[in-house]
Amino acid sequence: MKEIVLLGSTGSIGTQTLQVAKLHNIKVKALSANSNVNLLAEQVREFSPDFVCIYDKNKYEDLKLLLSDTDTKILCGKEGLCEISAIPCDITVNAIVGMAGFMPTVSAIYAGNNIALANKETLVVGGEIIKRLAKEKNVNIFPIDSEHSAIFQSLLAGQGNKPKKIILTASGGPFRGFSSEQLKSVTKEQALRHPNWVMGAKITIDSATMMNKGLELIEAVWLFDVLPEQIEIVVHPQSILHSAVEYEDGSVIGQLGMPDMKIPIQLALTYPERFVTNTAHLSLTDIGSLTFEKPDEDVFSCIGLARKAIRIGGNMPCIMNCANEAAVDMFLKDKIKFYEIPEKISFLMDKIRYTETISPEIIEQTEREVKEQMK
Ligand code: NAD
Ligand code: MG
């Protein structure tokens, strides 16, 4: 029986991870969330972890009260989060949203825990650091992101042969086929309605701007040791082929399945074994046709911004990521329009101080500078 620590347990990936844990009797040693104390307390009652951490210190007393009759030890804040991510276990699952997930990942790797990573922002802001540390500590990073799980699985077929190319698929989001003019008038409600996946608000907006694919391109560069130029983004609206790898001989190996995150979550927890899932199985004849098209990078300029950021390197992907998090937050609070998201990011990529090297301190400093500018 495996033991996990779960960061971000109240979110979309977090709750689905708990469903997988329940189905396969995986022991949950610790849980954590940002501020949703009620759901977190319910989860503690159901899974009886040794530790629970609430990031928002203002909610610490509330959580303590809710759990006063349990044996679970309660922690809070960033320190608490880093402490629980380092609890000895088979896998620390990082399902936090945003770059707040970076330091807990570092902490888990230092402790020698393998990582199941949903939190792509960790690799976008500090991929170089994470890769170096993981190698040093002999820690595995199992991707949860469906595309990266597909690439991971497709690479197994290569038995160590280097891929020539990675085909990173994208649904295209709710605004596929829109012109720049049409994007000027889209609403928050439209942007939050993803055609194929039900996810947290931030990644849903990232999917609508296609910044999600930009973040995933950078995530793939670090996870699979490929150049950005080796990654082709292909829009595939049915979200059935979750990504593929092309080898030198022209063979393309991909992974297909229903769009259900429980499949990649479970594989990250049980790899190399494959257990049953309680999700619908794929019927290709029911689906009928799979279609593919090029993304419109003129309209969805976030893809180009991500390519530019990883080409420049240093703290540029971090600047881009912080700017994106801040811009998406402003959009969700009705402070800016949808089309202003890439504009803000591009502006900050020119404005914020660039550094060639990257460290946890530089990442924090960059975040502070971006927040200051976005005020
Ligand atoms: P979500 O908003 O539904 O959940 C986020 C979780 O993180 C919550 O439990 C929240 O309490 C916690 N959290 C937020 N801020 C925090 C902070 N500062 N400190 C500690 N905890 C914090 O998000 P989600 O959709 O589950 O996405 C989580 C991550 O997984 C993101 O990086 C996203 O890009 C990635 N991802 C999600 C999906 C999906 O289907 N939802 C698919 C692929 C990748
Ligand atoms: Mg994805």
pLDDT above 90 (res 197):
no
pLDDT above 90 (res 359):
yes
Q: What is the pLDDT of residue 126?
A: 98
Q: Is 94 in the pocket of ligand 1 (CB under 6 A)?
A: no
**CA gap 160, 157 in Å, rounded:** 8
Domains of the chain: 3-143 (3.40.50.720), 147-259+281-312 (no CATH)
Q: How confident is the model at residue 185 (pLDDT cuts 50, 70, 90)?
A: very high
Q: Which residue type does 331 have?
A: F
**CA gap 299, 183 in Å, rounded:** 8
**CA gap 27, 18 in Å, rounded:** 10
Q: Is 11 in the pocket of ligand 1 (CB under 6 A)?
A: yes
Q: How confident is the model at residue 221 (pLDDT cuts 50, 70, 90)?
A: very high
pTM: 0.98
The separation between CA 321 and the C-alpha centre of its own chain, rounded to angstroms, equals 12
Pocket test of ligand 1: the residue of 6, 13, 117 to mutate, having most ligand atoms within 8 Å of its CB, is: 13
Q: How confident is the model at residue 93 (pLDDT cuts 50, 70, 90)?
A: very high
Distance 241 CA to ligand 2 centre (A): 12
Mean pLDDT of 150-171: 98
Contact criterion met (CB below 8 Å) for 49 and 72 = yes
**CA gap 122, 145 in Å, rounded:** 12
Q: What does the chain come to in residues?
A: 375
* Nearest residue by C-alpha to atom 4 in ligand 1: 11
Cβ-based neighbours of 102, under 8 Å, separated by 6 or more: 121, 122, 125, 126, 360, 363
CA distances from 143 to 76, 150, 164, 220, 365 (A): 27, 9, 20, 10, 27
Tens of pLDDT, residues 105-145: 999 999 999 999 999 999 999 999 999 999 999 999 999 99
Contact criterion met (CB below 8 Å) for 16 and 265 = yes
Is omega for the bond preceding 195 within 30 degrees of 0, making it cis?
no
Q: Is 12 in the pocket of ligand 1 (CB under 6 A)?
A: yes
Q: What is the pLDDT of residue 375?
A: 83
CA distances from 145 to 95, 114, 215, 311 (A): 10, 16, 11, 22
Q: What is the pLDDT of residue 276?
A: 96
Q: What is the pLDDT of residue 329?
A: 98
Tens of pLDDT, residues 29-85: 999 999 999 999 999 999 999 999 999 999 999 999 999 999 999 999 999 999 999
Tens of pLDDT, residues 283-306: 999 999 999 999 999 999 999 999
Contact criterion met (CB below 8 Å) for 185 and 137 = no
Contact criterion met (CB below 8 Å) for 234 and 293 = yes
**How confident is the prediction for the chain on average, in pLDDT?**
97
The separation between CA 322 and the C-alpha centre of its own chain, rounded to angstroms, equals 14
Comparing C-alpha atoms, which of 142, 162, 160 is closest to residue 152?
Answer: 142
Q: Which residue type does 306 have?
A: A
Bridging pattern class, strands 241-246 and 114-117: unpaired
DSSP 163: P
Pocket test of ligand 1: the residue of 96, 215, 223 to mutate, having most ligand atoms within 8 Å of its CB, is: 96
Ligand nearest to the CA of 198: 1
Q: How confident is the model at residue 225 (pLDDT cuts 50, 70, 90)?
A: very high
Q: Is 310 in the pocket of ligand 1 (CB under 6 A)?
A: no
DSSP 210: T
pLDDT above 90 (res 222):
yes
Comparing C-alpha atoms, which of 91, 84, 10, 3 is closest to residue 51?
Answer: 84
Angle at 358 between CA 357 and CA 362, to 5 degrees: 115
Comparing C-alpha atoms, which of 194, 165, 347 is closest to residue 259?
Answer: 194
